[in-house]
Amino acid sequence: MKMESDNIIDVFLHPKSVAVIGASKKLTKGGFRIATNLITNNFRGKVHFINPNA
C-alpha cells in the first residue's frame, strides 16, 4: 500500500491515537505535562498511558 505524501503528513498531524510513554501522576514529570496537555486541549483520539512502574 503506497500513501501519497499529503496522507502521510495528515496521519502525523492528526493522529487517531497517541501513547504517552512514561505517564505519571507526579506534577513535575514530563509524562504528566504531556497527558495534561492532551486532555486540556481536547485531543479527540484515544490516549494510551504507559508507565512500566505502575
pTM over 0.85: no
> In this predicted model, what pLDDT tens digit does every residue of 1-54 receive, in sequence order?
566 777 888 888 999 999 999 999 999 999 999 999 999 999 999 999 999 886
Which residue range forms the structural domain that includes residue 28? Answer: 5-50
Task: In whole angstroms, give the CA distance from residue 53 to residue 50.
Answer: 9
Ordered DSSP codes for 1-54: ----HHHHHHHHHS-SEEEEET--S-TTSHHHHHHHHHHHTT--SEEEEE-TT-
Domain count across the chain = 1
Nearest Cα neighbor of 19 from 50, 51, 41, 53 is 50
